[in-house]
Amino acid sequence: MTTTTQDAGPQSAPGWTPPTWEEVVEQHSARVYRLAYRLTGNVHDAEDLTQDVFVRVFRSLHTYQPGTFEGWLHRITTNVFLDKMRRKQRIRFDALSDESAARLPSRDRSPEVTYEETHLDDDVQRALDALSPDFRAAVVLCDIEGLSYEEVAATLGIKLGTVRSRIHRGRSQLREALAHRAPAPRPEPVTPVRRRPMVRRPAAGTV
């Protein structure tokens, strides 16, 4: 029976078997890539980030405690992204064997699949890219990935109030950046002036 990581909750802990790395890649690579693309804004960086995330998973899977597996992957993906942005350097792959590296998610995605899974409107993606990494991560997790404020706080390891502040400020900056897309105010409808018909008084003696 294939182990699934979709709903590995605490209640499954007594008889729970950790998934293999191959199962994690098979079940979750598309989701990780999608989040990576939202965070980085381009295919090349998203592929690099996805590779780095699964390297981190490869090294950390033995430490995973039963819980929300997707939340764990969200946390790893976001943390690796923030680490890369802060350090501006690549995570090394030295500890990953060639055999394991060969089983990483393929870079050979068709353009159609990549577009459908990841595409945001160009204006929206540019506006997201302009946000600071901390703001971008909070907004993407909440408004695109659909996490609650509490889940975002757990994923980023920050206080709930900080999450609220980052999302509020990030959304404000997005609204400002996208203000040019706001629909123009509709003109007030012109009410035609109704003219009363000219009715001449009949001449005396004609009625």
3 state SS for the chain:
CCCCCCCCCHHHCCCCCCCCHHHHHHHHHHHHHHHHHHHHCCHHHHHHHHHHHHHHHHHHHHHCCCCCHHHHHHHHHHHHHHHHHHHCCCCCCCCCCHHHHCCCCCCCCCHHHHHHHHCCCHHHHHHHHHCCHHHHHHHHHHHHCCCCHHHHHHHHCCCHHHHHHHHHHHHHHHHHHCHHHCCCCCCCCCCCCCCCCCCCCCCCCCC
pLDDT over 70, % of the chain: 63
Contact in structure between 40 and 81 (CB atoms under 8 Å) = yes
Boundary of a domain, candidates 104, 119, 134: 119
Residue 196 lies inside a defined structural domain of this protein: no
**Separation between Cα atoms, residue 15 and residue 146, nearest integer Å:** 30
Instruction: State whether 147 and 128 are in the same domain.
Output: yes
**pLDDT tens digit sequence for 142-157:** 988 889 999 999 999 9
Instruction: State whether 170 and 103 are in the same domain.
Output: no
Instruction: State whether 36 and 67 are in the same domain.
Output: yes
Asked which of 21-30, 49-58, 150-159, 184-193 is least confident by mean pLDDT, the reply is 184-193
**Separation between Cα atoms, residue 106 and residue 108, nearest integer Å:** 5
Residue 199 lies inside a defined structural domain of this protein: no
Of residues 2 and 47, more confidence is placed in: 47
Q: What is the mean pLDDT of residues 175-184?
A: 78
**Separation between Cα atoms, residue 25 and residue 195, nearest integer Å:** 75
* pTM given for the model: 0.64
Instruction: State whether 165 and 72 are in the same domain.
Output: no
Asked which of 122-126, 136-140, 166-170 is least confident by mean pLDDT, the reply is 122-126
Residue 35 lies inside a defined structural domain of this protein: yes
Instruction: State whether 169 and 99 are in the same domain.
Output: no
The total number of structural domains that make up the chain: 2
Instruction: State whether 103 and 135 are in the same domain.
Output: no
Q: Taking the mean position of all CA atoms in its chain, how far away is CA 11?
A: 29
Asked which of 94-103, 116-125, 128-137, 176-185 is least confident by mean pLDDT, the reply is 94-103
CATH number of domain containing 57? 1.10.1740
Residue 142 lies inside a defined structural domain of this protein: yes
Instruction: State whether 45 and 24 are in the same domain.
Output: yes
Residue 190 lies inside a defined structural domain of this protein: no
For 139, the token pair is 């907004």
CATH number of domain containing 173? 1.10.10.10
Residue 198 lies inside a defined structural domain of this protein: no
- Give the domain range for residue 152: 120-180
Q: How many residues does the chain have?
A: 207
**Separation between Cα atoms, residue 31 and residue 192, nearest integer Å:** 57
Residue 137 lies inside a defined structural domain of this protein: yes
Residue 148 lies inside a defined structural domain of this protein: yes
